[in-house]
Amino acid sequence: MNFTFAGVPESDAFRWFSEGLLAVMQSEGHRYTRNANEARLVFNFCPRGQPRPFRRKAQPVFVCAVTEFPSPLTDHITQAYPVLPRALANLAVGLVPADNGVPEAHFVTLEQGHYVVHDGRGGGDYFRQVYARIEPMASSTLVIDNFFVPDLPEALRDGDAASESIRRAGRRLDELDLLPAPFPMDELLPARDFHHIKRLFGIGGLSYGNISARHDARWFWMSASGVDKSNLRAIGRDILMVKDYDAGRNGMVVSHPPGVEPRRVSVDAIEHWMIYREHPRVGAILHVHGWMEGVPSTDFNYPCGTLELGKAVADIVREADEPARCVVGLRNHGLTITGTSLDEIFERVEGKILRTVPMGWGSGVAAVPADRSLRDGR
């Protein structure tokens, strides 16, 4: 992957961090470029308290904001999380002074995850740990382009039983109250940046989870990106028909009624597409930003909407005793749940979903007690 630096590493800590980051990225085979238009990963250096947005010219670009967090950092949600939306970033890393002279590197994710790299030895081991947090993003391929075709059959333009089940499921999902964003994005961002971030990733305050239901052997209905799941109405805008994945152009093919201006489908469409194609008995899929105890999980925290996350989830579904009725943990992110129908999924998981998604480093993820706060730094 080509990567670049934006902004200016002005402080001594910034310069030290940028030099170590450059060295470890290049040692792992990534290519540094001065041309931001060639980069798929941008490290955006922002002065403390002044997160400057990096506005992507192309959608499949990851941004990691690098800044300095307040010291002491006692609450990553209020003190650090706002950097993410304000810098339009997928990941934020903030340096915090430490007694041994090597700054702690605090990572904050859009799912409210919080990790810390602090190694008194510094040097290569420190930056290997830093790279371990960046690697899933640096090695991923986003599939967020949509190719819209106004060819939805007339008989489906007002929906069918499967799309109606998505409407019902949207209301039930709303009742779970699992909003991933701790702040209203439209209040935190200027209008221009709010529009930009919703267009790219659908990270609006109402974009929580997603829902899909099989139509036939190849097509499936799915909720749109960044919409109020409790109020899914219009076919082609709130609920979309996914026809295929176009590998050559790396995007999802979406059918909509003629004359309807479509919204983009959820970024997880590639993951759902993989599961439906491989498992004909899967009739519906639910994704939530919550957790369940004792579920198998992906090993790496791949970003949403990537081929790598889709493959990791599909691998676990394939190994399940009953692929059409399984629950998969998405590391540090949430759950993907398959079922014969959406009604069947909700009946199966009712009362079992925990609000807190556990955050961890190693292979697999151990569930945490329901009352553990995200402020534990886990």
Peptide bond into 262 cis (omega under 30): no
When pLDDT is averaged across residues 78-85 and rounded to a whole number, the result is 87
Judgement on whether residues 159 and 213 belong to the same structural domain of the protein = yes
> What is d(CA 374, CA 378) in angstroms, rounded to the nearest whole number?
7
Looking at residue 209, its pLDDT comes to: 85
Q: Is the pLDDT of residue 92 over 90?
A: yes
Judgement on whether residues 168 and 23 belong to the same structural domain of the protein = no
Reduce the secondary structure of the chain to three states and give it as a string: CEEEEECCCCCHHHHHHHHHHHHHHHHCCCEECCCHHHCCEEEEECCCCCCCCCCCCCCCCEEEEEEECCCCCCCHHHHCCCHHHHCCCCEEEEEECCCCCCCEEEEEECCCCEEEECCCCCHHHHHHHHHHHHHHHHCCCECCEEEEECCCCHHHCCCCHHHHHHHHHHHHHHHHCCCCCCCCHHHHCCHHHHHHHHHHHCCCCCCCCEEEEECCCCCEEEEECCCCHHHCCCECCCEEEEEEEECCCCEEEEECCCCCCCCCECCCHHHHHHHHHHCCCCCEEEEECCECCCCCECCCCCCCCEHHHHHHHHHHHHHCCCHHHCEEEECCCEEEEEECCHHHHHHHHCCCCECCCCCCCCCCCCCCCCCCCHHHCC
pLDDT band at 125 (very low <50, low <70, confident <90, very high): confident
Judgement on whether residues 368 and 318 belong to the same structural domain of the protein = yes
Q: According to the per-residue pLDDT averaged within each range, which of 109-113, 278-282, 369-373 is highest?
A: 278-282
Q: Is the pLDDT of residue 181 over 90?
A: no
Judgement on whether residues 323 and 191 belong to the same structural domain of the protein = yes
Nearest Cα neighbor of 88 from 11, 201, 170 is 201
Give the residue numbers spanning the domain of 75. Answer: 2-138
Judgement on whether residues 175 and 284 belong to the same structural domain of the protein = yes
When pLDDT is averaged across residues 72-79 and rounded to a whole number, the result is 88
Decide which of 95, 122, 138 is a domain's last residue.
138
pLDDT band at 189 (very low <50, low <70, confident <90, very high): low
> Strand 31-32 relative to strand 2-6: parallel, antiparallel, unpaired?
parallel
Judgement on whether residues 74 and 156 belong to the same structural domain of the protein = no
- Per-residue pLDDT tens digits for 217-246: 999 999 998 788 889 999 999 999 999 999
- Per-residue pLDDT tens digits for 242-263: 999 999 999 999 999 999 999 9
Nearest Cα neighbor of 162 from 232, 225, 258 is 232
Contacting residues for 199 by C-beta, under 8 A, at least 6 apart: none
Decide which of 138, 166, 195 is a domain's last residue.
138
Q: Is the pLDDT of residue 172 over 60?
A: yes
Q: Is the pLDDT of residue 364 over 50?
A: no
Nearest Cα neighbor of 211 from 358, 312, 341, 352 is 341
Q: At residue 53, what is the residue type?
A: P
Looking at residue 171, its pLDDT comes to: 93
Judgement on whether residues 15 and 73 belong to the same structural domain of the protein = yes
Judgement on whether residues 129 and 177 belong to the same structural domain of the protein = no
Q: Is the pLDDT of residue 37 over 70?
A: yes
| Percent of the chain residues past pLDDT 70, beyond the cut | 85
pLDDT band at 277 (very low <50, low <70, confident <90, very high): very high
Q: According to the per-residue pLDDT averaged within each range, which of 68-82, 204-218, 346-360, 362-376 is highest?
A: 68-82
Decide which of 105, 121, 138 is a domain's last residue.
138
Nearest Cα neighbor of 349 from 94, 157, 176, 151 is 176
When pLDDT is averaged across residues 203-216 and rounded to a whole number, the result is 75
pLDDT, averaged across the chain: 85
Q: Are 279 and 271 in contact (CB under 8 A)?
A: no
Looking at residue 136, its pLDDT comes to: 86
Judgement on whether residues 178 and 250 belong to the same structural domain of the protein = yes
Judgement on whether residues 52 and 188 belong to the same structural domain of the protein = no
> What is d(CA 366, CA 234) in angstroms, rounded to the nearest whole number?
40
Q: How many domains does the chain have?
A: 2
pLDDT-wise least confident of 219-228, 291-300, 358-367: 358-367
More confident call, 254 vs 299: 254
| Domain harbouring 292, CATH code | 3.40.225.10
Indicate whether this model's pTM tops 0.85: no
Judgement on whether residues 125 and 97 belong to the same structural domain of the protein = yes
Judgement on whether residues 163 and 58 belong to the same structural domain of the protein = no
> What is d(CA 269, CA 274) in angstroms, rounded to the nearest whole number?
9
Looking at residue 358, its pLDDT comes to: 73
